[in-house]
Amino acid sequence: MFPRHQIYLDNAATTAMDPAFAQEMSRIATEAYGNASSRHDLGLEAEQIMRKARQQVADAVGAEPEEVAFTSGATEALALALLGIAARESKPGHVLISAIEHPAVQESAQLLRDRGHIVEEVPVCMEDARLDLETLTSMVRQETFLLALMHVNNELGAIQPVTRAARIVKRAAPRCVVLCDVVQSLGLLPVDMGQLGADIIAASAHKLHGPKGVGCLVIRGRAPAALYGGGGQERGLRPGTENVPGIAAFGMACLKGKGDPETLRRWTRALGASLEDRLGAKMLCDGPKRAPHIIAVQIPGVRAEVAVNALAREGIYVSSGSACHGRHSLKSTVLAALGLEGADDVIRISLGRFNNEDEVSHASSAMPRLLEEVRRKRKGP
């Protein structure tokens, strides 16, 4: 049985789809259902819909529409980028990734290791979970051909110094490609490829109140090598018939975004402060270098898995970390990078455009009470 009243505070995992997007997807699927590669009227209509969405995505990231290639999501986009960039190399080379990258990057990077490339992780500073730029400077080599650095960390909300990191690697290794995952920042923080210094960015619609199964690569300059064939769509990087309804909704989602940054920051700060004051909890990575919609909170004496389940029974939905490994109980490499390896008392709270003041107020009051009950039960009589 699901609780009657639900307060969804797990927007970093996925967001509720905007009903307007779903309505437009339904219209396109039933009325403008042509294959965008077909040359008859229905095909040309589908192509026009995609052209509009491509422009909307490009506008959102300071790019040109021809630089946008649609994918099935950010995980595929990141894999196509990492593996495709490496496939251009004539011999094994040197790759740098941050120590707090998403599993989509970490696991593709492992494939590069298996193929003979040297892949090293750049540590983050313990106090704010931001990339250690001094160490990056010492690690980059002339033969470094790829740096993968996310814009906003999905577990902690830490905003990474992408622009400065890009300058450092480009100085030492001019041909190095900078790949940036903007999944958590797009639609909330300013995302401009030129200002970031990124050569390739990856994004996903379902973190923007859009549909699942749609993402993109935005590629400036030389494209990654294609990993397979099949039709030549999307610059040859992602061949196959495009998901036109989903792509249209992705474009719309880029216009509406995740919500108002200042409102989301105020709400996450209030939730964190309530847990700090009443439970002695600790907000990780709080401050101006944290994305407005995400807070990670360490709650002494309460296991994260138990906390998540206890809150869910009362209709409050949070998470214990990245949704990509939460079900499998894998240890968080992000927490390990902060010196919290083995920590099992950190929950992630993340808000979105559909949350409201009443929900935040209720959660600020109810969460400390519910978690204190969990703590007392654990201690026993």
pLDDT per residue as tens digits for the range 365-381: 999 999 999 999 877 65
Enumerate residues 6+ apart whose C-beta is below 8 A from 199. Answer: 177, 178, 179, 219, 220, 221
User: What does the pLDDT look like over 79-137, one tens digit per residue?
Assistant: 999 999 999 999 999 999 999 999 999 999 999 999 999 999 999 999 899 999 999 99
H/E run at residue 349 = strand 346-350
CB neighbour class for 228 (10 Å; exposed up to 12, middle 13-18, buried from 19): exposed
Residue 194's SS3 state is helix
Q: Determine the residue type at 199.
A: D
The domain ranges of the chain are 7-16+258-379, 19-256
Q: What is the CATH number of domain 7-16+258-379?
A: 3.90.1150.10
Q: Which of 125, 254, 285, 324 is catalytic?
A: 324
> What value does the mean pLDDT of the chain take?
94
Indicate whether this model's pTM tops 0.85: yes
Determine phi and psi for 120, rounding to 5 degrees: -120, 145
The fold for domain 19-256 equals Aspartate Aminotransferase; domain 2 (3.40.640)
Give yes or no: 324 in active site.
yes
- Indicate if 19-256 has the same CATH topology as 7-16+258-379: no
The residue among 149, 124, 133 whose CA lies nearest residue 199 is: 149
